[in-house]
Chains A and B, each alone.
Chain A
């Protein structure tokens, strides 16, 4: 206790910040989730867990949860696999490597909304450049192109493509940093012992990337789960709830229906859900244990 008091002046500002920007909003959100709030924002009193009951009773709730899991697993999975390959490439010395490394950062430096909008406009029928290309090479026989972002399945698939694209730089660089810590003599020893490149990669290099991968995957899971802008832009014009994840549903409660109470309840559910996903990952993959 005395040690804590002595430390307080140093950790005090950080604590105050955490209370103000993390704990207070969470408390407010949990509070809002148990209130009945009118469309124009007036608090009409507590309703206990009725908002949660309404969220769970929504007929599209479970499909939305399922789609959220698909979204997280596919985006994070593809991102990690592609990043592993990219990092391996960038780790090799070749002429112009510096420029290629910089180019990989570009999706990170660009605004996510901007990147998504560029793809979205490209996919528009009548004037989108991607559609025009597909029509010109003969893959689509309708002269105005196909409404990629107008149908739930294709819009969701394109959202995954964009999400992977914007997640690559961070993941690649995390793995690249991990690769730098792999001692060259372990690889050399494996080679002398007769391991081919594939065996050396999976038997020696990959296990040593474990902690870098753990960081990359964890942060990606949380980021991808909470990602709103990509899905919002790519699937925003689709009627109904056939392309929604938990995040876009929170947004729809808030933006379309002005239900601050329901949106708060679903946010709390979303938080529990992401903790569960991270928990399952930690239990099943055990990435944090020593090699």
Chain B
């Protein structure tokens, strides 16, 4: 054994280099502070929002310009992040004591549980609050207190490539059995055409999961309890596996993300896929020649159902000194003449009564507004929903890689219970 002092020193140097290079990933938990309280004794509101489309930033800038013109004593700082980064940005900011004043996101119950949010009634006028549709308000409550302002809504529907279905001699399905049959006929056309486009990849696996699990009578639980591993959900999970194994879907469904797959649908290579209101605009822009129609999502017994999703705005308390400015901002934003153009430009559905009235005769939105009364929502009010959401994204696609459906659901349930 030749252990010289030189070896030890070298080993020490190597450890130092290793240290310096390994610690980059998790230790960056301090957000940069930008909030300096605003100039001229006024108030500055920090607004953190995700990007829904390339137009999002411009739409917000217009809103802010209008608001600041009406409220010269309040300045608004806009920060736009991609959906992929949004949740880690907000977690980093909260950990660093730099929470935004207004935040636009999905899950809110975790923040409410940590007592970070204003109840919505404290930061809106009575008129604004009363204008929200009741189903959306219920969906935004924790223990009867509303913490999220319903922001925009979307509903899912089945987009059907009429040309492909006609070529394959298939009918538009309303039940699961019909769906398998039609999808297989379309898949049999060959040439890279897939019958049903099933995106179980991490991007939005929870949505595709809800479409089939709930369509078979399952649920993800309620405000008290998240229930994934149930016999009702198993029926839907096994149906997904049936679609995959019988060749009714595109290849590698388990790791296919929704957005790229929807592009393939728009190109006309997929028979059927579940889409959103903005999909209509996407087809009009990229492939107006596509012959398609929009139908309710097939369910096990053919009863109508859709997955509704509402994103929320929420107001963080921080030092508790900006309540009035926040209320002024919300009251300005939710006025129909500001709010409706915003929602319309992004191609979503409004969550206010006046907004729905204003959009009532929009033809492209009609199929979605039609199914909205049958909408079911994610259990947003449950603080554990956010863990469940992540678990679906990370694990649900394993259904398509041959793992038994019961094991996949059990694994998701276990991750939720541990979170």
Instruction: Judge: A and B partners, yes or no.
Output: yes
Residues of A at the B interface (CB closer than 8 Å) are 21-22, 25-26, 28-29, 32, 37-42, 54, 124-126, 142-144, 146-147, 149-151, 218-219, 222-223, 226, 228, 236-240, 242, 247, 250-252, 254-260, 263-264, 267, 270-271, 274-275, 278-279, 282, 288-289
Interface size on B, residues (CB 8 A): 67
Q: Are B192 and A237 in contact (CB under 8 A)?
A: no
Which residues of the other chain, B, contact A28 by a CB distance below 8 angstroms?
A: 27, 29
Do A38 and B110 have beta carbons less than 8 Å apart?
yes
CB-based contact B192/A142 at 8 Å: yes
- Which chain B residues border A41 with CB–CB below 8 Å? 29, 91-92, 94-95
The reply to whether A239 and B200 contact each other, CB–CB distance below 8 Å, is: yes
Q: A150-B256, A226-B21 are in contact. Are A29 and B26 (CB under 8 A)?
A: yes
Pick from B18, B255, B390: contact of A271, CB below 8 A: B18
CA distance A124 to B252 in the complex (A): 11
Q: Contact check, A239 vs B269: say whether CB atoms are below 8 A apart.
A: no
- B237 CB to nearest A CB, Å: 13
Asked if A239 contacts B251 (CB within 8 A), the reply is: no
Bound complex: CA A39 to CA B28 (Å): 16
Please indicate the chain A residues that have their CB under 8 angstroms from the CB of B398 in the complex. 239-240
List residues of chain B with CB within 8 A of the CB of A238. Answer: 254-255, 397
| Closest chain B CB from A135 CB (angstroms) | 9
What's the Cα separation between A223 and B22 when bound, in Å? 9
Q: Is the CB of B251 within 8 A of A39?
A: no
Encode B4-45 as 1/0 by CB contact (under 8 A) with A.
000100110011111111111111110000000000000000
The answer to the question of B133 belonging to the interface, with a C-beta cut-off of 8 Å to chain A, is no
Task: For the complex, give the distance between the alpha carbons of A37 and B398 in Å.
Answer: 29
CA–CA, A144 and B261, complex, Å: 13
Chain A residues with CB under 8 A of B251: 125, 142, 144, 146-147, 150
Sample of 19 further A-B pairs with CB below 8 A, known A39-B419, A239-B401, A275-B18: A25-B23, A40-B111, A124-B260, A126-B192, A144-B269, A149-B255, A150-B254, A219-B17, A237-B202, A239-B254, A239-B400, A240-B398, A250-B26, A251-B25, A255-B87, A255-B88, A257-B394, A257-B415, A263-B26
Contact of B192 with A143 in the complex, beta carbons under 8 Å = yes
Residue pairs across A and B with CB atoms within 8 Å: the count is 172
- A26 to B403 CA separation, bound complex (whole angstroms): 39
Name the B residues within 8 Å of A38 (CB-CB).
110, 114
Q: Give Cα A151–Cα B391 distance, bound, in whole angstroms.
A: 19
Distance A223 CA – B394 CA, assembled complex (angstroms): 26
Residues of A within 8 A of B15 (CB): 275
A240 near B401 with CB under 8 A, answer: yes
| Complex CA distance for A175 and B318, rounded to whole angstroms | 56
Report the Cα distance A25→B20, complex, angstroms: 10
Contacts of B403 on A, CB cut-off 8 Å?
240
B255 engages A126 (CB within 8 Å): no
Contact with A along B66-110 (1 / 0, CB 8 A): 000000000000000000000110111011000000000000001
Cβ contact of A32, chosen from B24, B26, B255, B397, cutoff 8 A: B26
Asked if B220 is an interface residue, CB under 8 A from chain A, the answer is no
B85 to chain A, nearest CB (A): 9
Q: Is the CB of B22 within 8 A of A274?
A: yes
B144 at the interface (CB under 8 A from A): no
> Are A150 and B387 within 8 A (Cβ)?
no
What residues on A are CB-neighbors of B419 within 8 Å?
39, 257, 259
The answer on a CB contact under 8 Å between A239 and B396 is yes
Shortest distance from the beta carbon of B401 to any chain A beta carbon, whole Å? 7
Bound Cα distance from A37 to B90, whole angstroms = 14
Instruction: Contact check, B110 vs A257: say whether CB atoms are below 8 A apart.
Output: no
In the complex with contacts A41-B92, A147-B252, A257-B390 CB distance below 8 A: yes
Distance of A289 Cα from B269 Cα, bound (Å): 62
Q: Is the CB of A42 within 8 A of B114?
A: yes
- What DSSP secondary structure best describes chain B's contact surface? helix
Instruction: Indicate if the CB atoms of B29 and A260 lie closer than 8 Å.
Output: yes
How many angstroms between the C-alpha atoms of A282 and B9 in the bound complex? Answer: 13
Are A39 and B22 neighbours in the complex by a CB distance under 8 Å?
Answer: no
In the complex formed, the residue of A with least CB distance to B201 is A237
**Which residues of A have CB within 8 Å of B255?**
147, 149-151, 237-239
Q: Are A218 and B25 in contact (CB under 8 A)?
A: no
Say whether B59 faces chain A, with CB atoms less than 8 Å apart. no
Greatest chain A CB density within 10 A among B10, B95, B191, B200 is at B95
B65 at the interface (CB under 8 A from A): no
Closest Cβ of chain A: how far from B367's Cβ, in Å?
27
Are A274 and B18 in contact (CB-based, < 8 A)?
yes
In the bound complex, do residue B393 and residue A126 qualify as a contact, i.e. CB atoms below 8 Å apart? no
State the CA gap A260–B403 with chains docked (Å).
Answer: 29
Residues from chain B with a CB closer than 8 A to the CB of A237 are: 201-203, 255-257
Q: Which A residues are in CB contact (< 8 Å) with B7?
A: 288
> Is A40 touching B252 in the complex (CB atoms < 8 A)?
no
Once bound together, how far apart are the Cα atoms of A144 and B249, in whole Å? 13
**Bound Cα distance A41, B17 (Å):** 30
Structural contact, B26 and A254, CB atoms closer than 8 A:
yes
**B387 close to A39 (CB less than 8 A):** yes
Q: Judge if B243 is at the interface, Cβ distance under 8 Å.
A: no
- The answer to whether A256 touches B252, judged by C-beta atoms less than 8 angstroms apart, is no
Tell me the minimal C-beta distance from A112 to chain B in angstroms: 14
> Within the complex, which residue of B21, B114, B256 is in contact with A40, where a contact is CB–CB below 8 Å?
B114
- Chain A residue nearest to B30 (CB atoms) is A28
Contact A256 B114 (CB under 8 A): no
How far does the alpha carbon of A261 sit from the alpha carbon of B200 in the complex, in Å? 28
- Nearest Cβ distance between residue B45 and chain A, in whole angstroms? 20
B24: A residues at CB distance < 8 A = 226
Report whether B26 and A260 are in contact in the complex, using a CB–CB cutoff of 8 Å: yes
Chain B residue at smallest Cβ distance from A146: B251
Q: Name the interface residues of B376-415: CB closer than 8 Å to any CB of A.
A: 383, 386-387, 390-391, 393-398, 400-401, 403, 415
- Most chain A CB atoms below 10 A, which of B16, B29, B190, B192: B29
Tell me which of B27, B191, B252, B394 contacts A252 (CB under 8 A): B394
With an 8 A cutoff between CB atoms, is B116 at the interface? yes
Say yes or no: A256-B19 contact (C-beta < 8 A), given A239-B401, A267-B25.
no
